[in-house]
């Protein structure tokens, strides 16, 4: 069941936690299980590796072979056209990959550095990367939301979520609301999402997702999926009905 479609009591039970927070031992065990609350990306490649990644696509190799054959047969015009397509495809792929890397770095920069949590009933300020599902997070005006949270308390709480929903007006949140299971992201009034910021009021929430499992993480994953669309020009030629 999705946390925004459950009441606060049900969510706490599902996450095996309570409003006083996790114990330090349980938090350590969950950190080992879930990993750090950070956005990750594949190790950066060198420029040469990036170029090879573009060229080694089977369709690109076929085109290079076709250009070679055309050249040996004296079809200079065909050779030039095919090689131009390969060159342009490589450039487009490199640009897409570079933009994806820059976008993920930008997402990392808007992540919270610290979080105010309840552990064993005691308020602590910890690095946000150490948050785990089940942690109880305290929110005040000016804070960055450090992970995806199901709100369990809210008081005049308004959160700016433009980076996720595109809405320029801060969303009014209400911990007492229970949303439908198919509720769109922008209408989940009982949730606070990683990367958004508190503009007014205060609240308390239980962490439901961290790192790449957050809504922000899903965006980062989609962006990093640019590799799946590399060589789009050549692939479109392959599948074209014409």
151: CATH: 2.70.150.10
Q: Residue 170 carries which DSSP code?
A: P
Q: Are residues 231 and 159 in the same domain?
A: no
Q: Are residues 123 and 184 in the same domain?
A: yes
The pairing of beta strand 114-119 with beta strand 122-127: antiparallel
Q: Are residues 225 and 119 in the same domain?
A: no
Whether 214 is in a domain gets the answer no
The domain of 100 spans: 47-108+221-239
Please state the domain count of the chain. 2
- CB-CB contact of 188 with 172 (8 Å): no
Q: Residue 22 carries which DSSP code?
A: B
| pTM of the model as a whole | 0.69
Cα–Cα distance, 148 to 215 (Å, whole number): 7
- CB-CB contact of 144 with 110 (8 Å): yes
pLDDT of residue 81: 86
Q: Are residues 124 and 175 in the same domain?
A: yes
Q: Are residues 196 and 229 in the same domain?
A: no
With tokens 């929903």, the residue in question is 165
Whether 216 is in a domain gets the answer no
Cα–Cα distance, 78 to 66 (Å, whole number): 9
**Collapsing DSSP states into helix, strand and coil, what is residue 190?**
coil
pLDDT by residue for the chain (242 residues), tens only, comes to 799 999 999 999 999 999 999 999 999 999 999 999 988 755 666 767 777 777 777 888 888 888 888 888 888 888 888 888 888 887 887 777 767 666 666 655 556 678 999 999 999 999 999 999 999 999 999 999 999 999 999 999 999 998 788 888 999 999 999 999 999 998 999 999 998 999 999 999 999 999 989 998 888 787 766 444 444 333 333 323 23
Cα–Cα distance, 206 to 17 (Å, whole number): 9
pLDDT of residue 107: 56
Q: Are residues 57 and 138 in the same domain?
A: no
Nearest to 175 by CA among 194, 196, 202, 195: 202
Cα–Cα distance, 45 to 3 (Å, whole number): 38
pLDDT of residue 113: 78
Cα–Cα distance, 212 to 70 (Å, whole number): 47
């Amino acid at each position: 069941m999705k946390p925004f479609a459950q009441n606060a009591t049900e969510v706490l039970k599902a996450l095996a936690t309570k409003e006083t927070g996790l114990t330090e031992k349980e938090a350590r065990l969950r950190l080992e299980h879930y990993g750090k609350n950070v956005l990750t990306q594949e190790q950066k490649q060198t420029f040469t590796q990036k170029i090879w990644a573009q060229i080694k696509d089977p369709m690109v190799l076929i085109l290079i072979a076709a250009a070679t054959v055309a050249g040996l047969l004296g079809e200079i015009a065909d050779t030039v056209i095919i090689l131009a397509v390969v060159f342009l495809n490589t450039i487009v792929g490199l640009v897409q990959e570079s933009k994806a890397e820059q976008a993920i770095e930008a997402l990392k920069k808007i992540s919270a550095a610290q979080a105010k949590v309840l552990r064993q009933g005691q308020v602590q300020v910890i690095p946000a990367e150490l948050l785990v599902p089940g942690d109880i997070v305290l929110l005040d005006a000016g804070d960055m939301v450090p992970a995806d949270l199901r709100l369990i308390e809210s008081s005049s709480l308004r959160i700016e979520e433009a980076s996720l929903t595109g809405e320029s007006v801060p969303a009014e949140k209400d911990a007492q609301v229970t949303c439908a299971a198919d509720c769109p992201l922008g209408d989940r009034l009982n949730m606070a999402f990683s990367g958004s910021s508190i503009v007014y009021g205060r609240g308390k929430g239980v962490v439901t997702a961290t790192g790449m499992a957050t809504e922000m993480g899903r965006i980062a994953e989609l962006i990093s999926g640019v590799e799946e669309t590399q060589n789009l020009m050549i692939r479109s030629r392959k599948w074209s009905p014409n």
